[in-house]
Amino acid sequence: MITKQFGTKKLPLKSGATMKDIATMAGVSQATVSYVLSGREGVRISDATRQRVKRIATELQYRPHAIARGLARGNTQTIGVYAHTEEAVLSGLWRTEVMRGVAEELLAHNYHLLLYGYRTSAPEPPVSLFLDGRVDGLIFLSPHMGDTLPNALEVVRMPTVFVGTHEFQSSRVSCVDCDSISGAIQAVEHLIQLGHRRIAHLCGPSIAPNARDRVTGYKLAMEKHGLPILPEMLISGGFSEEEGYQATCTMLVKGTRVTAIFAANDVSAIGAIRACHEFRVRIPEDISVIGFDDVPFCEITHPKLTTIRQPATELGQQAVRSLLQIISSGAGAPSAVIMPTELVVRESTGCVPAVLSGVSSRSI
C-alpha cells in the first residue's frame, strides 16, 4: 500500500484526509477533532490540544466533506440543470450563454452544479432521478410542449425554475424568459419600416414554447400593418443551421416571392444566409435576413447579422436567484420574470429592392 509519512506514523494516500486521520495523528478522539475544527465553544479542550489538531489539519490539507456536511444540514449546496439534447449536452449557442450566467451566479453563492442531459428522442427521465438528495433544486432549460416532467416536478414539490418559457408557475416553480412575442414584433416591424411586405418566417420547432411565441409575434405585427399571413410565408424549420438552410433552399427552389426572412434564431438565420449565397441571392440587396438571440458570432457573419438580442446570460443568473429564493423560503408566490429584448441592426437588413418598393400588400 502506498503511504504518506507523517512524523513517526504513516497514513494511506487517498483523495483527502479525514477527521479520523487527524485524530490518529493527534492522539485524540474524532469528537475532539470535530469540536476543534467546528469552533464549538464550551468544550473543555486544552489550548495545546487545539493548536495540535489545527496544525495537523493544515498539514494534511483537510477539507470538510461537502456531502457529509450537506446531509447534516439537510441540503447539498448543489443545483441541477436539466436540458433536452440531440447532440452534446451544452450544444447550442443560446444554451451556452444561459449556462454562463448560471455558473457565474452559482459561484457567487458558493453553490455547485450538476448537469443532466437526455436526448429529445429518448423517453423522459423519471422524476425520481432528481429526488435522491443530490440537488437542492432544478433549473430546466427550454421545456418542450407536451413534456410530462414539469407537472411531475410540481407534484413532488421539487424547487424548479424553467428557462425559456413562462407557462409553468406554482408555489415551488418559477419561470424566467425573454419576451419572445415582443421581440418578434420588433423584428417584423423593423423589416416593415424598411419597406418590406413579403416577409417569410422560418419557424422554430413546434415543441418549443419560445418558437411558438415568435410565430405569434410575427402574426401580430403582420396583422397590425394590414399584411396578409400567407401559408407559404410560414416555413416549418427548427433551431439548427441545417434546418434553416434546407428551409430556405426549399423556399428559393419553389420561387416563393419574399424580400425578407425573419428566422426564429440566429443559428437558423445563418443557414438561411448560406442558402442565399449558394443561390446567388444578395443580402441585403435582394433579400434581408434577421435572426433572434444575438449570439456572439453575429458580428463575424457575412454580412453581419441583424438580430433581436435577448439577455441569455442574465436569464441564467436570474434563474439561479429565483431558485435560491424558492429553496430558502420553502414556498413563495408563483413568479415569472420576463426580460425585454432589443433590436440590434447590423448589415443583413436593408430597404426593400427598388423594383418592388411600390408593390402594395394586395399584390402579394
Domains defined along the chain, listed by start: 3-64 (1.10.260.40), 76-179+312-340 (3.40.50.2300), 180-310+344-359 (3.40.50.2300)
**Above 80 in pLDDT, residue 19?**
yes
Q: Pull the grid cell for residue 361.
A: 400588400
| pLDDT, average across residues 124-144 | 90
Which phi and psi (to 5°) does residue 309 adopt? -85, 125
Average pLDDT, the chain: 86
Where are any strands of DSSP class E within the chain? 3-6, 9-12, 78-85, 112-119, 137-141, 160-163, 173-178, 199-202, 234-235, 260-263, 288-293, 306-309, 335-339, 342-344
Q: Tens digit of pLDDT for each residue in 188-222?
A: 999 999 999 999 999 999 989 999 999 999 999 99
How far apart are the C-alpha atoms of 102 and 99, rounded to whole Å? 5
pLDDT for 99 beyond 90: yes
Give the mean pLDDT of 340-349.
98
End-to-end CA distance of the chain: 82
pLDDT computed for residue 319 by the predictor: 96
pLDDT number for residue 145: 85
Half-sphere CA count of 80, side-chain side, radius 13 A: 21
Higher pLDDT, 104 or 144: 104
Please name the residue that has the C-alpha cell 399584411.
227
> Dihedral of CA 190/194/199/202: which sign?
negative
pLDDT single digits (tens) 243-274:
999 999 999 999 989 999 999 999 999 999 99
